[in-house]
Amino acid sequence: MKEKKIMKIKRDVEKEFPGDFALQQVHIARKLLSEEAKEKNLSLWRHIKMQAKEVEKVVHDL
């Protein structure tokens, strides 16, 4: 994902939730995951499940 797109997401979320850093972080993460899923032509849920499987595999290999 391009840096410009990431910065726009951050600015937009900061405007939506001024003064609440934790809520900003949650929404930024959700929007970034949504964009990644869209780029891969996956639903957000499917993308998250695939990410979780990758993490599970890495943890198992430790």
Q: What is the structure's pLDDT at 62?
A: 85
pTM of the model: 0.78
DSSP H helical ranges for 1-62 = 3-16, 21-39, 44-61
Specify the pLDDT at position 1: 78
Place of tokens 């639903």: 43
Angle between helix 44-61 and helix 21-39 axes, rounded to 10 deg? 100
Question: Which residue has tokens 């032509």?
Answer: 41
* pLDDT tens for the 62 residues of the chain, in order: 789 999 999 999 999 999 999 999 999 999 999 999 999 999 999 999 999 999 999 998 88
Of the candidates 38, 39, 12, 42, the one whose C-alpha atom is nearest the C-alpha of residue 27 is: 12
